[in-house]
């Protein structure tokens, strides 16, 4: 078999600064993760399954998130799933999700969200830019881009949103340039307790999303073949006599509308 020669990508001069910034961000993220792994080693299975963020995947500017989204009616159904999958439990994350927009609502007008997610208080923080998700038949699709950020720095964004907007980051530069955002405001957010399980070779995420006005329970599984996996997942839930329905809205939608749909 002939080996294919790697393609060489020539960067324009104006792109080099962004490329170098992405390289630095990737190096910093890798160093931080290595320090964390030394303090809290993961099992070989989890290490093999860890997914890099966009900052670590230099050259990949956009990604399409495809995930199964099933809504559970109450805590009882949530607890049934936990019990059925308890032998396959991987990890639990206490997440805090905080959202930002331009002071003139520029991101909302362009069907975009900007989120900073904190893991287990300040163990980790990730910036995510996501196009509004389309959910059809319990399958959500959305373009998204992610980048790690220092958790202590991220905390300062809550009181000073423009620090996030002006961050020396390829992702934030992209947001400013594409959407003409001149100043940021913090929209607030919500908490989420996420349990991860091994399921059919994928990571099943069981969410307990806590809003000031109530709690929503949901299953999410990211996959490139949602229709096939959805059949298996629905059979599993039906066999366990666990009630569910297809999710129709995002967590962010519930947050902005103050609903529990």
pLDDT, one tens digit per residue, over 138-165 is: 999 999 999 999 999 999 999 999 999 9
**What value does the mean pLDDT take over residues 229-255?**
98
Distance CA 137, CA 88 (A): 27
Check the CA dihedral 141-145-146-149 and report its sign: negative
pLDDT tier at 18, thresholds 50, 70, 90: low
Please name each of the domains of the chain with its CATH number.
15-257 (2.40.320.10)
Q: What is the number of residues in the chain?
A: 261
Mean pLDDT of 100-109: 98
What value does the mean pLDDT take over residues 23-29?
Answer: 56
Does residue 169 have a pLDDT over 50?
Answer: yes
Q: What is the pTM of this model?
A: 0.76
Structure tokens at 209: 């999303």
CA distance 15 to 171: 13
pLDDT at position 63 is 84
Phi, psi for 42 (deg, rounded to 5): -95, 160
Tell me how far the alpha carbon of residue 209 is from its chain's centroid: 14
Whether the pLDDT of residue 177 is over 90: the answer is yes
pLDDT surpassing 50 at residue 56: no
129-136 long-range contacts (CB < 8 A, ≥24 apart) are: 129/171, 129/174, 129/175, 130/65, 132/250, 133/65, 133/250, 135/69, 135/246, 135/247, 135/248, 135/249, 135/250
Q: 202-211 and 124-131 as β-strands: parallel, antiparallel, unpaired?
A: unpaired
């Amino acid at each position: 078999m002939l080996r294919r020669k790697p393609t060489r990508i020539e960067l324009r001069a104006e792109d080099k600064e962004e490329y170098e910034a992405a390289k630095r961000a990737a190096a910093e993220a890798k160093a931080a993760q290595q320090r964390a792994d030394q303090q809290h080693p993961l099992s070989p299975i989890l290490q093999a399954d860890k997914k890099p963020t966009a900052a670590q995947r230099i050259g990949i500017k956009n990604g399409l998130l495809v995930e199964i989204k099933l809504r559970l009616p109450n805590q009882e159904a949530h607890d049934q799933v936990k019990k059925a999958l308890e032998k396959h439990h991987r990890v639990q994350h206490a997440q805090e999700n905080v959202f930002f927009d331009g002071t003139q609502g520029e991101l909302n007008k362009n069907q975009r969200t900007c989120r900073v997610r904190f893991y287990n208080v300040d163990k980790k923080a990730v910036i995510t830019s996501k196009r509004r998700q389309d959910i059809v038949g319990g399958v959500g699709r959305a373009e998204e881009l992610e980048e790690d950020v220092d958790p202590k720095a991220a905390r300062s964004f809550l009181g000073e949103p423009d620090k996030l907007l002006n961050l020396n980051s390829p992702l934030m530069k992209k947001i400013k340039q594409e959407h003409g955002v001149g100043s940021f405001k913090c929209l607030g957010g919500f908490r989420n307790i996420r349990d991860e399980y091994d399921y059919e070779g994928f990571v099943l995420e069981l969410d307990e999303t806590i809003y000031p006005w109530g709690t929503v329970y949901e299953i999410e599984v990211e996959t490139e073949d949602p229709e096939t996996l959805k059949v298996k997942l629905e059979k599993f839930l039906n066999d366990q006599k666990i009630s569910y329905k297809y999710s129709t809205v995002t967590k962010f939608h519930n947050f902005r509308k103050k609903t529990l749909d």
